[in-house]
Amino acid sequence: MTKKREHEVRVRRVYEAPEPEDGTRVLVDRLWPRGLAKEAAELDAWLKDAAPSAELRKWYGHDPGRFEEFAERYGAELAAPDHAEALGRLRELTDGDTLTLLTATKDLRYSHAPLLAAEVRRGAHRGAHGRGREGGHGGGHGGGGA
């Protein structure tokens, strides 16, 4: 029996040059990145609804001192029905290919993208083993690594 390979979900800045290892490239910011031509981004999709709400983004302001609370609030948003479709689409895109989540955020350590990547990995893993729960999310979020 062949072992199914682990779902690879990467996080990169959208301003970095595309790489062959990127696989499917998805912008996960609500706003289009400043100064970037659409052709230069080489995107496969733009999922605005995977990004934090405008209210949460404005509250957070990329203040590292607020990151822990931001991660909790964003996790709650991801568990809400209005994010479910975008999250489901990202999980579908991990099937058999690398998925690269792209963001314009300067410091990936304090970005929503690694948090989103961790949630996509959790859901893709649960789905592959038939143990997913409808509407549930895995609880707290770590930094997700970047």
Q: For residue range 82-139, list pLDDT tens digits in order.
A: 888 999 999 999 887 899 999 999 999 999 999 999 999 987 655 543 433 333 333 3
Q: Tell me, what's the pLDDT at 125?
A: 54
Q: Which residues pair with 12 in a beta bridge?
A: 102
Per-residue confidence at 64, pLDDT binned at 50, 70, 90? very high
Q: Tell me, what's the pLDDT at 76?
A: 95
Collect all residues with Cβ–Cβ distance below 8 Å to 34 and sequence separation of at least 6.
Answer: 104
Q: In whole numbers, what is the pLDDT of the chain averaged over residues?
A: 84
Q: Mean pLDDT throughout 48-67?
A: 96
More confident residue, 74 or 134: 74
Q: Tell me, what's the pLDDT at 130?
A: 40
Would you call 85 helix, strand, or coil by DSSP? helix
Beta strands of the chain (E only): which ranges?
9-13, 24-27, 45-46, 99-103
- For residue 17, give Cα distances in angstroms to 28, 63, 100: 17, 27, 13
Q: Tell me, what's the pLDDT at 144?
A: 38
The percent of residues above 70 in pLDDT, for the chain, comes to 79
CB-CB contact of 104 with 33 (8 Å): yes
Residue 62 is classified by DSSP as T
Residue count of the chain, please give it: 146
Sheet holding 45-46, edge to edge: 9-13, 99-103, 24-27, 45-46
- What angle separates helix 112-129 from helix 81-93, to the nearest 10 degrees? 70
**Does the global pTM surpass 0.85?**
no
Q: Which residues of 61-87 are buried (b: 16+ CB within 10 A; e: fewer)?
A: eeeeeebeebbebbbebbbeeebeebb
Per-residue confidence at 6, pLDDT binned at 50, 70, 90? low
Q: Tell me, what's the pLDDT at 9?
A: 96
